[in-house]
Structure 1
Amino acid sequence: MKDKLVKGVAWLGAAKIVVNILALCSTVVLARLLTPADFGLVAIVMALLAIVESVTDLSLASALIHHKNPSEDHFHTAWSLNLTRGLLIAAMFACAAPYVADYYHDSRLKEIMWVIGASIFVTGFNNPKMVVLTRDLIFWQQFVMTVSQKLAGFVVGVTLAFIFKSYWAIVGGTVASQLVGVIVTYLVVPYRPRFSYRHTREIWSFSVWLTLGKMINTINWKFDHLMIGSYLGTKSLGFYTVGDNLAAMPTREAIQPLESTLFPGFKHLVHDKIRLRNAYVSAQGVITALALPLGVGFAMVAHPLILLLMGEKWLPVVQVIQIISCVFVLQTIGSQVHPLAMALGETKVLFKRDFISFFIRLPIIIAGMFMAGLMGVVYGRAISGTISLVINMHLISKMIPLSVLSQLKGNIRSLLSVVSMAAILYCIKSLLVLESNTSGLVLELMVLCASGAISYISIHVLLWHIMSRPLGPESEALRIIKAALARIKAKLSK
């Protein structure tokens, strides 16, 4: 199974590399051609969409993966439920559009909501049989789908940005990505759907707590967008949205390929708690070792990177990136509670966690916004994120025999290495005296990136040897490298 997971991570990792490059290029081009207010305007609609989708979400893919032997009727039921949901969302958006436009005093929101609502109805036709490959730990289909979606969104979005130089470039790219995604699902896995609601109750019995949890969690994470748009304006929301997305990008794109394999992987081990615990510790160690240097490193290079790629008008996002990026990487230490709880069937636990987090995070962020504006929201994110990390680690200790202290000890080399890396980069930045032109910014980025990579890896390996080379991300990396070299050697000898 480990080999299947490694192949799955390779496929998803390759997809994320391509998607990351396209996403960064898209953000840079759109940021150059559009204004922060354009991004903020679309962000209001996308936040509303995320909330509505979470309220109506049925977690169908997770329910089908969890089912021991889903039949054709199960897939027909999932398809019918998803299509019905898409129709309801489209109708809700059509009806709510005028009221939303009046509330934010911007008539443009009405047309955006109509277009996005219609595209969501089309996504209701998605092929539910895609989960068959995921269930069997085959992930090449995710590569095809995610890359084709992002490529379509990139081409359409950038083209519209050059032609119209308006927020419709963002909307058009989003719609194109969604439509291509639907088409690709049927090209990858042939399926002829028909209407059936036969297994609705069975699917709902598993997904009800996931749905409620996702609803609370999405409101928790998207309501701040609506508040900023209403209280601080679309320009501030544009800075916050772009900064938030960029801050999450290096961490999310690096670890998501591995995270996507964990639910089906853990599901195969639920009857052997020792193997499940060991698998969790191994996966968490690798995720933390990858996420920490990428997130903290990105925070350290945010200023020259934003100045080089997006220009001075986007400099307010630098502080947003620096703080939120560090929050994201710390939260990865306990973020695997979600696939672990789903594999164990403890979906109610996730709902309770999200419910508690909602009443912690939102008041802190609201208070921060009224006290210090946009940066108050960002600092509120930092405080609530730290509390969320403690909650997640506590839940993990309840589900598998792994104390909070053991979880921290398992990541101690990564934590010490990234703190050392940050200190080294801070010293280098203080000593560097370069011009703020293109060549100077490029040179600064090259020096910081190279220094960060060398210092982190060197310190990590040194600590590993000092601790007598225990099992962990280092040994896992060596195993993968040796296996890859053996395959290459075998092919060359043929």
Structure 2
Amino acid sequence: MQDLRAKVISGFAWESSTKLFVQILSWVSTIWVARILTPSDYGIVAISGVFVGLCLKLAGMGLGSAIVNKKSVSKSDLDNFFWVSNALAILAYLLLYNLSPFISEYYEVPELNSVLRVASLIIFVSSLSIVPRALLDRAMKFKHTAIINGIASTSITVSALAMAFSGFGYWTLIYSTILGEVIMAAGVYIAHPYLPSGFGSFGNNRASYKYGANVLGSRIIDHINNQWVTIIGGAVLGKTLVGSYQMARTIALIPLSKISEIIFKIIFASFSRIQDDIPRSKKIFIQMYRYLLLASAPMFSGIALVSDELILLLLGEKWLTALIPIKIICISNIFMISNFFFYKVLDGLGRSDISLKYQLIGLIAFPTLIYYASSWGLNAMLMAWFIVIPIGFIYLTMQIFKVLDLTLYEFFQTVLPSLASTLGMTAVLIAMNSILLASELPSAYILTLKILMGSFTYFTLLLIFFRSSFREVLTLIRSN
């Protein structure tokens, strides 16, 4: 048990530290690119992302997760998964290539036709690397994946800045993403070489395909559920408001977009290895969920509280339509990141059926409420989205209680340090806000003071009332 815990904590520390440098570059890149591009540019790419992302998941068929989750995997199994995934990639690309004119016409965005056909090339690159990428995760070689992710993310950041300044417009976001995926694929093949030597056998992999189908179903529905505002809003509100929504999502997720990706990958691989040992699973769940909330709750709340100054100062007046969406999304994300964490744990434990049921709840509720609210604009659509998220949180929490034999008291003890300290920080910043606005200080000074006061308040409350949690964070940092 100590060996697994050491791998989990070491993996988290290694990848977190690598991502920190990349994340700082990503912040700078996002800000500068957003100042150059327009909301309509982001809207075009956001709409295309709905369909490209869907085809990516269809091509993957959940087979990467099946490889990680399988108790033993042979070369024949890997070959079979490789060829099936790549055959599906060809079919997915051809499907999207032929549908792109109709999608472009439906959304009344002529640029979508060419954007979809170029952006969907990423499907081939992703499918080619599905096996070595899964093998790295299966072996829990998080140091290797951290370095590869760091190099790929840096290439995206640098290329996006160069192309934005060179006048590539919305193609900046397309080309830089494809480049990053190519570098990622090359990296995983170098770290874990793999070449198929045959076609393998379907017969020995029926259970894996069944598991992969559950994961695929869950991921497709999850993707669609996360894109309902874009799917409906793109047709009702237009590409410019969808672009504002996309920027709001990007800003709201900036602090943890990479960190959460790390945690989910590590957690899935870790729980897959110990899925038959519930006490060990429970202990690791409590520890990692506490870490996740300690990092995410204050960041999401903090961004919502400083968003007024953040948008105006860093992005400019053309992005003011993203202001209220950022606040709504940040508060929603406290629940959303928990939901993601819960169903990744359940997937790792072999209960992808629960994840699928959770997604089906959203598939019914999200489009119904969001479409109804679309008559009142983007903010109303986001409020409808916000209403549904806690329902999924309650369902998944109840399932976690059952699967891990977790008690309400244990859960409360896990979430208390981060949530109590975050509420205290929020109260201080709200009280402070009226004083700062009355002072007529420049936006830069107000933003700086809010960040400093919020950070000081949060860590002070954590240190005074929840010292053990504070020490855990320090231990995590030192373990790097």
Deviation track 1:135-164 (CA, whole Å, cap 9, x = no partner) reads: 232212222222222222223222222222
Report the Cα distance in structure 2 between the residues aligned to 1:99 and 1:173, rounded to whole angstroms. 26
Q: Contact 1:40/1:237 (CA < 8 Å) preserved in 2?
A: yes
Secondary structure, counterpart of 1:411 in structure 2: helix
What are the equivalent positions in structure 2 for 1:239-318 lying under 5 Å apart? 239-318=244-323
Q: Contact 1:209/1:351 (CA < 8 Å) preserved in 2?
A: yes
In the alignment, what sits opposite 2:367? 362
Report the Cα distance in structure 1 between the residues aligned to 2:217 and 2:111, rounded to whole angstroms. 32
In the alignment, what sits opposite 1:64? 67
* 1:7 aligned to which of 5, 10, 22: 10
Q: Does 1:424 align with 2:457?
A: no
Q: Does 1:375 align with 2:386?
A: no
Q: Contact 2:241/2:321 (CA < 8 Å) preserved in 1?
A: no
Q: Contact 2:309/2:447 (CA < 8 Å) preserved in 1?
A: yes
Q: Which runs of 5+ in 2 are unaligned?
A: none
Against the structure 1 CA distance between its residues 379 and 405, is the aligned structure 2 distance closer, same or farther, given a 3 Å change threshold?
Answer: farther
Against the structure 1 CA distance between its residues 367 and 55, is the aligned structure 2 distance closer, same or farther, given a 3 Å change threshold?
Answer: farther
Q: Contact 2:78/2:131 (CA < 8 Å) preserved in 1?
A: yes
Report how far residue 396 of structure 1 moved: 0.9
Deviation track 1:254-300 (CA, whole Å, cap 9, x = no partner) reads: 44333321122223433332222222112111211111111101111
Secondary structure, counterpart of 1:271 in structure 2: coil
Q: TM-score, normalised by structure 2?
A: 0.93
Q: Contact 1:19/1:147 (CA < 8 Å) preserved in 2?
A: yes
Q: Does 1:103 align with 2:99?
A: no
Q: Contact 1:251/1:328 (CA < 8 Å) preserved in 2?
A: no
Q: Does 1:476 align with 2:472?
A: yes
Against the structure 1 CA distance between its residues 56 and 128, is the aligned structure 2 distance closer, same or farther, given a 3 Å change threshold?
Answer: closer
Report the Cα distance in structure 2 between the residues aligned to 1:221 and 1:173, rounded to whole angstroms. 23
Q: Does 1:188 align with 2:191?
A: yes
Q: Which moved more, 1:312-321 or 1:181-190?
A: 181-190
Q: Which runs of 5+ in 1 are unaligned?
A: 485-494
Secondary structure, counterpart of 1:68 in structure 2: coil
Report the Cα distance in structure 2 between the residues aligned to 1:60 and 1:332, rounded to whole angstroms. 23
Q: Contact 1:5/1:261 (CA < 8 Å) preserved in 2?
A: yes
What are the equivalent positions in structure 2 for 1:56-455 lying under 5 Å apart? 56-126=59-129, 128-199=131-202, 201-370=206-375, 372-404=376-408, 406-433=410-437, 440-455=442-457
Report the Cα distance in structure 2 between the residues aligned to 1:124 and 1:265, rounded to whole angstroms. 23
Q: TM-score, normalised by structure 1?
A: 0.90
Q: Contact 2:43/2:243 (CA < 8 Å) preserved in 1?
A: yes
Q: Which moved more, 1:412-421 or 1:16-25?
A: 16-25
The one-letter code matched in structure 2 to 1:320 is P
Q: Which moved more, 1:128-137 or 1:276-285?
A: 128-137
Q: Contact 1:89/1:121 (CA < 8 Å) preserved in 2?
A: no
- Asked which structure has the greater RCO (Cα within 8 Å, sep 6+), the reply is 2
Q: Contact 2:22/2:150 (CA < 8 Å) preserved in 1?
A: yes
Q: Contact 1:417/1:456 (CA < 8 Å) preserved in 2?
A: yes
Secondary structure, counterpart of 1:241 in structure 2: helix
The one-letter code matched in structure 1 to 2:411 is Q
Q: Contact 1:304/1:445 (CA < 8 Å) preserved in 2?
A: yes
Secondary structure, counterpart of 1:402 in structure 2: coil
Report the Cα distance in structure 2 between the residues aligned to 1:416 and 1:263, rounded to whole angstroms. 28
The one-letter code matched in structure 2 to 1:292 is A
Secondary structure, counterpart of 2:254 in structure 1: helix
Q: Which moved more, 1:396-405 or 1:3-12?
A: 396-405
Report how far residue 433 of structure 1 moved: 4.2
Q: Contact 2:13/2:476 (CA < 8 Å) preserved in 1?
A: no
Q: Contact 2:228/2:370 (CA < 8 Å) preserved in 1?
A: no
Against the structure 1 CA distance between its residues 341 and 176, is the aligned structure 2 distance closer, same or farther, given a 3 Å change threshold?
Answer: same
In the alignment, what sits opposite 1:463? 465
Report the Cα distance in structure 1 between the residues aligned to 2:264 and 2:443, rounded to whole angstroms. 34
Report the Cα distance in structure 2 between the residues aligned to 1:20 and 1:160, rounded to whole angstroms. 19
The one-letter code matched in structure 2 to 1:110 is N
Q: Which moved more, 1:262-271 or 1:203-212?
A: 262-271
Against the structure 1 CA distance between its residues 433 and 112, is the aligned structure 2 distance closer, same or farther, given a 3 Å change threshold?
Answer: same
Q: Could you tell me the percent identity over the aligned residues? A: 22
Report how far residue 132 of structure 1 moved: 2.7
Against the structure 1 CA distance between its residues 444 and 408, is the aligned structure 2 distance closer, same or farther, given a 3 Å change threshold?
Answer: same
Report the Cα distance in structure 1 between the residues aligned to 2:297 and 2:131, rounded to whole angstroms. 35
Deviation track 1:465-484 (CA, whole Å, cap 9, x = no partner) reads: 6xxx5xxx334235446767
Report the Cα distance in structure 1 between the residues aligned to 2:114 and 2:91, rounded to whole angstroms. 18
Q: Contact 1:289/1:414 (CA < 8 Å) preserved in 2?
A: yes
The one-letter code matched in structure 2 to 1:291 is S
Give the length in aligned residue pairs: 475
Report how far residue 317 of structure 1 moved: 1.0
Secondary structure, counterpart of 1:129 in structure 2: helix
**CA RMSD, aligned part only?**
2.2
Q: Contact 1:55/1:212 (CA < 8 Å) preserved in 2?
A: no
In the alignment, what sits opposite 1:489? none
Report how far residue 178 of structure 1 moved: 1.9
Report the Cα distance in structure 1 between the residues aligned to 2:256 and 2:181, rounded to whole angstroms. 24
In the alignment, what sits opposite 1:487? none
Q: Which moved more, 1:296-305 or 1:75-84?
A: 75-84
Against the structure 1 CA distance between its residues 221 and 196, is the aligned structure 2 distance closer, same or farther, given a 3 Å change threshold?
Answer: same
Q: Contact 1:250/1:298 (CA < 8 Å) preserved in 2?
A: no
Report the Cα distance in structure 2 between the residues aligned to 1:69 and 1:177, rounded to whole angstroms. 31
Report the Cα distance in structure 1 between the residues aligned to 2:374 and 2:75, rounded to whole angstroms. 50
Report how far residue 14 of structure 1 moved: 2.2
Q: Contact 1:81/1:197 (CA < 8 Å) preserved in 2?
A: no
Report the Cα distance in structure 1 between the residues aligned to 2:171 and 2:66, rounded to whole angstroms. 36
Q: Contact 1:292/1:330 (CA < 8 Å) preserved in 2?
A: no
Against the structure 1 CA distance between its residues 103 and 395, is the aligned structure 2 distance closer, same or farther, given a 3 Å change threshold?
Answer: same
